[in-house]
Each structure stands twice: as C-alpha cells, then as structure tokens.
C-alpha cells in the first residue's frame, strides 16, 4: 500500500511540472531581450504566485490523500475483522455441521438399538402370547373339569340342604326344650333367692330388735334436731364468722403493711444472723450425735444379741406350751367367727366401699389443700424458707381436721345437755357422814 501511494504521488508531481513547462515556453518565446526588467519581474511574480498556489493545492491534495489513506486503513481493518469473523463463523458452521452429523449418526445408532430392543420385545410378547394360549387351553380344560365338579357339588348340596332342614327341625325341638328348662331354672333361681333372703334375714337378726327400734328413733330425733337447731345455728355461726373475718381483714390490713415494711426485713436479718451463728454448732452437734449413735450401737449390739440368745429358749418353750391352747381356741371360736363374718358380709361390703370413697375424696381434698398452703407459704418472703413437704402436709391435715372437730364440738354443745351439778352444802355433807358413822358403829 505504501509503494502504491508513492507511485501515485510521483506521477501527480510529474504532471504538474509538465504543465508548468508548457505554460512557460510560449511566454519565453514572446519575450525579447529588449523587454524591460519590469515585465520580467511581473512574470516572475506571476509564476511565483502560481507555484505557491500549486504548492498549497499539492499540500491539500496530500492531506486529502492522507485522510483517504487513513480511511482506507480503517476500512481494511474493518474488512480484516469481518473476514476474521466470517472465518470463525465458517469454522463454527463446519463444527456444527460435524456435530449435527455425529448427533444424527448417534440418533441413527440409537434408533437401530431401539428397533433391536423392540424386535426383542416383540419376540418376547409372541412367546408370552403362546404361553397365554397354552394357559388358556389348560384353563378351558380345568373349566370343563370344574363344571363337572360343580354338578357333583350341586348334587351334594341338595343332599346337605335336606340334612340341614332335618337338623333345623331338631334344633327347633331342642330350643323349645331349652325354653322349658330355662323357665324351670328361673323358677329355681327365684326359690333360691327367696331362701337366701330368708337366710340373710335370719343371719341379720342377731342384732336385738330393741336396738334397731332405738337406732331408728335416735336417727329421726337427730334429723329433727339438726333441722330445727343445728342447721340455723350453723348458718348463724358461718355468717358471724364471715363478718368477723371481714372486720379482721380490715383491721389487720395496715398492720400487715407495717409488718411487711418494718418487721419482716428485721426478722430476716435476725434469722440470717441466727442461722450463721447456729450453723457451726449444729454441724458439731450432728457430728457428735452420729458418733454417739455409732458408739452406742456398737456397744449395745452385742448385749442385744446376747439377750436375744438368752430369751430364745424361753420363747420357744412358751410357744410349745401355748400352741395347743391356741389351736383349741381357734377351733372353738371358728364357727362363731364364720357365723359373724357371714352375718356381717352385706354390711362390710357397703362399709368398705364407703370407706374407700371417703379415703379417695379426703386424699383429693388433702392434695388440693397442700397445693394452696404451699402457694401461700411461697408467696411471702418470710414464710418461704419454711415451705417444706412435712410442714405443708401437717398444715393441710390440720385444716381438714379442724372443721370436723369444730362441728363435733358444736353438735355436742347443742344436743348434749349439761348435767346439773348438785350444790353440796355443809349440812347435807355432815348428815351423810353421820349416817355412815352410825352404820359403821353398828
């Protein structure tokens, strides 16, 4: 490219100089040696101006050529890039064509393999169809055998139905006989229950009649006394207790606040000091008690063993001596004990059931009261250290027992009449003493 540019530039300059010479030749022929210097100068100036103009035009042309060369270079670069991209695309197209051909070959191979597998499956299906046909033939043969067997079984079934009808008739007869036997058993059971009731009445009659009469009279009297006096007195006492409780709560509220703010911190400090002071003494005391216990145990154990050895022959002799008497006592008291147990059996069952129910209810209430007492003890800072299982159990037992004791005292105060104390005067006492003295003298 650079050599072509130089050749073009040289040809262009040669053309310019040829033109200049052609223009200057006729002018020189016109000039004469006799022309003055002024015309020569004018001609020279004109030539110089033409030269300068040509030089400027050549510069412009060279610039245009340079710009065109640059644009040509850029275009050549673009063409080179495009050609490179075209070459890369062609290579990619070739690679894709190769891949497509290889994929097509693979697909063709897979299709051939699939066709081979399908042929194998077709062969296997043909074999299965043949086996199924063989099975079908075998099943048809078995079906014919089964039809023959069904005919035989139908004949047997008809015979069995006849036998079944006969057995049903026999079962009806036995059911009728069973109903008759059940009626007889019901009658026998009724007789047995009536006899057992009579026996129970006889066994229960070991209590005297007057005791039952007095017991019923006492129960009715207690019920009337409770409805007339006990219940209203209990309602009045409960109302008064509730009023006193409300008054006590109002009165104790400011005192409780003062105790919480003033006395409880002081008591806590005193308790901590007391515990810190008492702890080493308690440790020494426990250590000493443990030592004393072990020492006493080690010293007493041989004496206890000796005493047991000494007392064992006497115990054996006493056992030998008392065994026949104990046997005689058991043989004598056994029938009475059996009679008493039989007579008390209906009462003991009811009492045991009532006792179990009572124990269950008391245990449930006791657990509830234990939970309430434990919450109350833990809610206060002063009573929290005392919240142990033993104290909670004892407090709950006391809370459950106190109402029963209070009701017992109240009933005893209401229903039990106080005996009038005799007023002992000095006169009556002296008369009695005199009478005794007279009798003793006689």
Three state DSSP letters for the chain: CHHHHHHHHHHHHHHHHHHHHHHHHHHHHHCCCCCCHHHHHHHHHHHHHHHHHHHHHHHHHHHHHHHHHHHHHHHHHHHHHHHHHHHHHHHHHHHHHHHHHHHHHHHHHHHHHHHHHHHHHHHHHHHHHHHHHHHHHHHHHHHHHHHHHHHHHHHHHHHHHHHHHHHHHHHHHHHHHHHHHHHHHHHHHHHHHHHHHHHHHHHHCCCCHHHHHHHHHHHHHHHHHHHHHHHHHHHHHHHHHHHHHHHHHHHHHHHHHHHHHHHHHHHHHHHHHHHHHHHHHHHHHHHHHHHHHHHHHHHHHHHHHHHHHHHHHHHHHHHHHHHHHHHHHHHHHHHHHHHHHHHHHHHHHHHHHHHHHHHHHHHHHHHHHHHHHHHHHHHCCCCHHHCCHHHHHHHHHHHHHHHHHHHHHHHHHHHCCCCCCCCCCHHHHHHHHHHHHHHHHC
Structure tokens at 304: 């206890």
Distance, CA of 392 to CA of 394 (rounded, Å): 6
Structure tokens at 298: 């080690």
Residue position matching structure tokens 């939970």:
371
At residue 206, the pLDDT reads: 44
At residue 300, the pLDDT reads: 76
Structure tokens at 143: 């079906």
Distance, CA of 373 to CA of 397 (rounded, Å): 11
- pLDDT tens track, the chain, 442 positions: 555 555 566 666 666 655 555 444 444 444 444 444 678 888 888 888 878 888 888 888 888 888 888 888 888 888 888 888 888 888 888 888 887 777 777 777 787 787 778 888 888 888 888 887 787 787 778 777 877 777 787 777 777 778 777 877 877 877 787 777 778 777 766 776 776 666 555 444 444 555 556 666 777 787 788 788 777 887 888 888 888 888 888 887 887 777 778 777 787 788 788 778 877 887 888 788 778 777 777 777 787 788 878 888 887 888 787 777 777 777 877 777 777 777 777 777 777 788 888 888 888 888 888 888 888 888 876 677 777 888 888 888 888 888 778 777 777 777 665 444 454 444 444 444 444 444 444 3
């Amino acid at each position: 490219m650079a050599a072509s540019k130089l050749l073009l530039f040289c040809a262009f300059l040669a053309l310019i100089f040829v033109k200049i010479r052609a223009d200057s030749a006729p002018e020189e022929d016109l000039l004469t040696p006799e022309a003055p210097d002024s015309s020569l100068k004018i001609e020279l100036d004109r030539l110089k101006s033409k030269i300068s103009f040509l030089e400027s035009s050549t510069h412009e042309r060279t610039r245009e050529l340079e710009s065109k060369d640059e644009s040509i270079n850029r275009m050549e670069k673009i063409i080179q890039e495009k050609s490179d991209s075209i070459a890369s695309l062609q290579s990619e197209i070739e690679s894709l064509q190769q891949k497509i051909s290889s994929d097509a070959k693979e697909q063709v191979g897979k299709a051939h393999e699939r066709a081979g597998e399908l042929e194998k499956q077709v062969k296997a299906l043909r074999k299965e169809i043949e086996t199924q046909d063989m099975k079908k033939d075998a099943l048809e043969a078995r079906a014919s055998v089964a039809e023959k067997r069904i005919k035989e079984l139908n004949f047997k079934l008809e015979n069995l139905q006849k036998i079944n009808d006969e057995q049903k008739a026999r079962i009806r007869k036995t059911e009728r006989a069973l109903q008759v036997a059940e009626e007889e058993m019901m009658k026998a059971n009724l007789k047995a229950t009536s006899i057992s009731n009579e026996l129970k009445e006889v066994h229960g009659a070991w209590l005297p009649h007057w005791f039952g009469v007095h017991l019923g009279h006492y129960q009715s009297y207690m019920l009337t006394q409770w409805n007339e006096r006990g219940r209203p007195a209990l309602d009045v006492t409960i109302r008064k207790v509730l009023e006193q409780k409300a008054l006590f709560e109002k009165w104790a509220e400011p005192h409780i606040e003062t105790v919480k703010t003033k006395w409880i911190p002081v008591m806590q400090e005193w308790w901590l000091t007391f515990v810190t002071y008492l702890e080493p003494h308690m440790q020494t005391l426990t250590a000493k008690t443990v030592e004393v216990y072990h020492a006493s145990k080690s010293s007493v154990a041989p004496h206890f063993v000796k005493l047991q050895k000494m007392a064992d022959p006497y115990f054996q002799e006493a056992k030998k001596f008392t065994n026949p008497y104990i046997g005689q006592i058991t043989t004598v008291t056994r029938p009475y004990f059996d009679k008493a147990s039989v007579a008390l059996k209906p009462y003991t069952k009811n009492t045991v059931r009532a006792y179990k129910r009572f124990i269950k209810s008391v245990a449930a209430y006791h657990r509830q009261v234990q939970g309430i007492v434990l919450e109350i003890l833990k809610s206060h800072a002063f009573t929290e250290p005392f919240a142990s299982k033993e104290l909670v159990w004892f407090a709950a037992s006391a809370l459950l027992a106190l109402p029963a004791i209070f009701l017992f005292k109240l009933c005893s105060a209401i229903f039990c009449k106080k005996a009038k104390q005799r007023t002992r005067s000095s006169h009556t006492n002296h008369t009695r003493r005199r009478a005794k003295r007279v009798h003793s003298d006689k």
